[in-house]
Structure 1
């Protein structure tokens, strides 16, 4: 029998730990990335007991919303940004598809995406699973593989889930050289941060948000990872002091 995605066991373990039932129809894979239904991610967040701060609207346009969300649980605080740019049928661009006469709610979608990311971070599943609301391409369809089993019976052969963080497929809108400059600029700026508040200010910076949109998914994930790591480092230092 072919070896299953090792991240699936970790996902099930986390749901079991918090006593949240989840069936195999709630998890599927898109190009090797486990995707969990939004409603089940929400149920996990409720079980963890996350306390949310008031969302901060970073961008408010008719067709676009960018929202910063912060949550705390068990002494750990995480934050993330949710983006929703309406894309109608036969239109290029955008990350929130609206078909026909379907009503569009970019603010609600941006908040869903941000909260789901925070929930997965607080559950220690960041990079191991994505919410179904993360990208239109993550919606379940016949081309996506459903999780066929609750567990891998060969428990002794399980390997730790690798944090190889496969982000939603998106190509850069700039050249490789320009992308490298953007990444280098923000990584160096992040390295110079001395207070947690500065990390939040960078996340809310319009220039930062615009630059992240220009990068590929992997490029954005890399920079956001650096920002998150720096923020956690500063929090640990503050608590130690």
Structure 2
């Protein structure tokens, strides 16, 4: 038995040193990661097995529903392992940042819900567009005197909590943006510039943000929304919901025209090309 720790990995690598080896590890929570990375770093070809699919294969091929180390080895030898995708280190780090962002974002939602409950209790309503934006926060701080002493204490604490969470979320989002591909960022910004000219949905949102935060912040916000929309369209297999039939027809004709133009440019004369 080899323990799932650095000493265990060293022991395993010592046992296979000088031999041609391929390893298979079953994906169980995050317990597989340390061993996987240790073997990968040492140059061992490692496969991460999908437990559910591998068990089904074992039952069908080996007539055995017990997937132990020997069964995994037999399936690997027969090339019957159902693989799990293991992203490269750069992607794993980005995923870690995104997971880290989830916690303060959920906390923010809970805090906002508690503040809404207190406002409902006193029938206080914000008439602006963003109660937790700059103007909204100023309003929230200004109404604390209308609350009882106990609710005032809770309200103040929750407002301070929001300010702290905003700072944490901003730090993580800045780090995520810096870690992302500069080429993708550039492409999204170019798409955003075009979108605010031709798309009513994005134009309206851009103008609203631009009035408060300026052109740069507004374009980045539109670029981010475009990235989210593309992701959801691909995953949900949906068409762009804000598009009109007239716009789609116009876009299709433009693409067809460009396609014909490029096809004509790529045509080779019947006699060939002469230098």
> Does the alignment reach a TM-score above 0.5?
no
TM range (shorter): under 0.3
Structure number with higher strand proportion? 1
**Which structure has the larger Rg?**
2
Structure number with higher helix proportion? 2
- Provide the TM-score with structure 1 as the length reference: 0.28
- Provide the TM-score with structure 2 as the length reference: 0.25
